[in-house]
Amino acid sequence: MTQTNYTRHIQALDSKHHLHPFTVHADLRARGPRVITRGEGVYLWDSEGKKILDGMAGLWCVNLGYGVEELADVAYETMRTLAYYNVFFQTTTSYAAELADLISQKTPPGLDEIFFASSGSEANDTAVKLIWYYWNLKGRPKKKAILSRKLAYHGSTVAGASLSGLSPMQDIFDLPLARFHHVEPTPYSYGCARPGESERDFAMRCAKALEDKIIELGPENVAAFIGEPVMGAGGLMIPPEGYWPEVERICRKYEVLLWSDEVICGFGRTGEWFGCQTYGVAPDIITMAKGMSSGYQPISAVALNEEVGGVIAEAKGEMTHGYTYSGHPVACAVALRNIRLLDEMGLVGPRGRAAIDHFQTGLAGLADHPLVGETRGVGLLGAIELVKDKKTRERFDPPGRAGMICRTHCFEEGVIMRAIRDTMVLCPPLVISNDEIDEMFALVRRCLDLTARDLGGA
C-alpha cells in the first residue's frame, strides 16, 4: 500500500467508528484526521512521512520526550513478571509501594499519603470524594462546597467538568453539579486586569473574589479551593505576583483546604517538582498525572498532607473508593523509572534550568511581532497572545479564528502549538535541546508571519 493509500485507509476507518475527545465530528470527518505514526525525542512523524516538532509534549505530558528505551524496557519486563495485580484486599506490589515512597519524597514536606488512579480526571474525582470524606470524619458534614475559578481546567469526568470553569464543557451536559462554585476574575492579567491596575492590585482583587465567595456561601459550608498553579488548558494564565500566598492566607483563615492541581505543573514543568513550590505555597492536597509517567502509561495520584491523610488513614471504617487500575504494576514501574530519569538527567535541576532560560529568551523574542500582544511564560510553558492591535489589545473577530489559522500553519510548517481561543501555547518536552528550541521558535515566527498575511496584515 502506498503512503497515501495507507493514510486514506486509516482515515476511513477512523471516520467510520471513532468518536474523538473535544471534537466537532462533522468537520473532522469531512477533512480526515492526521495520522501520527512515530515519535523520537521532541519529534513526531505522520503517515505521510512528515516530521513535526512537538511543541506541546503531546497533551502537556511527554516530559522525557518520545522513544525512551528504558521506559519501554521496564514496561516489558514488568508485564512479563507481573502483568497485573490490584492493591485492594490487603495486598500490594513492590511497584506501588516504591512509587508511593518516591512520590512522597518529591512532594513538599508532609504530603506523604498517596492514592493512585489512572488519569488526571480520576485523581481529581478521588480528591473531591476524599475531601468530603475527611470533613465527614471530622464531624463537619456541612463543609461540602468546592471552589474553583472561571477558565480553570480540571478534567472531563462529571466531577472534573464540574470543577472546571469552562462553560462549553458544562452547558451541553447540564453541569456543574451542585456544590461546585467558580470564582472570577481569573488571575489572567492580560485578559482580566483593569487598564492601569498594578499587578499587585490585580492579584489582591482576584484573591478577594475567593474570600467574598467563601463569605457568601458561609465558611462552615466550604470544603476546599482547587487551583492549577499556572492555569493550562484555559489559556496558560500565569498568576500575578502575590496571588498564591494571599489565596493560601484566605484558605487558612476560613479552614478551607487548599488543593493544587498539578496535572500539568507537576514533574518539572515550572522548574521545580511541583508548581506550588515555584509559587511558595503549601497545599493540603496535590493531584498529579501526565508528567508522572511522561505519558508512557496512564497513571495519576493524589497526595494528602498529614492532617487530611492522617484522618483518613486512621479512620475505623472502610474507605470504599478505588479503581481496578489503582497502583497498576506496569504503570507504577514506568512512573518510577520516569521519575528517576528526570532526576538523573537533571531535568528538574541544572539541565532543566538551562533549557528554561533558553526557552524563555526565545519566547520573549517574539514580542516584537506585529501580531503578538503579549508573550508570557514560566518554566517550559509559554503563551503568545494574537491581537489585531498591540496597543489597544483589540482582538480579531470572531474570537478563535486567528488561533485556528495559526494552528493550521503550525502543522503545515512542522511544529505543534496549541490554540486556546487566540492564545498560542507551547509546552515542549523537558529534554528539548537549545538547538531544537531555536528551531521551534524559528518555525513559530514563520507561522506568525503566515497568519498575519492571512489575516490581512496585523
- Site residues (CB under 6 A) for ligand PLP? 59, 119-121, 124, 153-156, 160, 228, 232-233, 261, 263-264, 289
Nearer to ligand PLP, 103 or 289 (CB): 289
Residue closer to ligand PLP by CB (options 47, 119) is 119
Cβ proximity to ligand PLP, 99 vs 264, nearer residue: 264
Residue 160 C-beta: closest distance to ligand PLP, Å: 6
CB of 233 to ligand PLP, least distance (A): 5
Q: Alpha-carbon distance 215 to 254, whole Å?
A: 9
Measured from the CB atom, the residue of 177 and 366 that comes closer to ligand PLP is: 177
The Cα–Cα gap between 178 and 163 comes to: 11
C-alpha cell at 424: 498560542
C-alpha cell read off for 456: 490581512
Sole residue written with cell 489597544 = 392
- CB closer to ligand PLP out of 169 and 233: 233
Exposure string of 59-76, with b = 16+ CB inside 10 Å and e = fewer, is: ebbbbbbbebeebeebbe
Query: What does the alpha-carbon distance between residue 65 and residue 103 come to, in Å, rounded to a whole number?
Result: 21
Q: Assign residue 60 a region (left: φ > 0; alpha: ψ between -120 and 50; beta: otherwise).
A: left
- Give the shortest CB-102-to-ligand PLP separation in angstroms: 20
CB-closest chain residue to ligand PLP: 120
User: Of 257 and 264, which CB lies nearer to ligand PLP in the complex structure?
Assistant: 264
Nearer to ligand PLP, 290 or 358 (CB): 290
- CA distances to 7, 15, 218, 406 from 32, rounded to whole Å, are 9, 7, 51, 19
Closest distance to ligand PLP from the beta carbon of 280 (Å): 19
d(CA 330, CA 95): 8
Residue 261 vs 436, nearer CB to ligand PLP: 261
Question: To the nearest whole angstrom, how small is the minimum distance from the Cβ of residue 164 to ligand PLP?
Answer: 8
Nearer to ligand PLP, 156 or 434 (CB): 156
Give min distance, CB of 154 to ligand PLP, in A.
5
Least distance (Å) between residue 124 CB and ligand PLP: 6
The angle formed by the CA atoms of residues 341, 344 and 350, to the nearest 5 degrees, is: 120
- Of the pair 120, 362, the CB lying nearest ligand PLP is at 120
Shortest spacing between CB 141 and ligand PLP, in angstroms: 27
Q: How far is the CB of 61 from ligand PLP (least distance, A)?
A: 8
**Nearer Cβ to ligand PLP, position 261 or 422?**
261
Output the smallest distance, CB 153 to ligand PLP, in A: 5
CA-based nearest residue to 214, from 175, 249, 260, 177: 249
Overall size of the chain counted in residues: 458
- Output the smallest distance, CB 287 to ligand PLP, in A: 7
Beta strand pairing call for 415-416 and 51-54: parallel
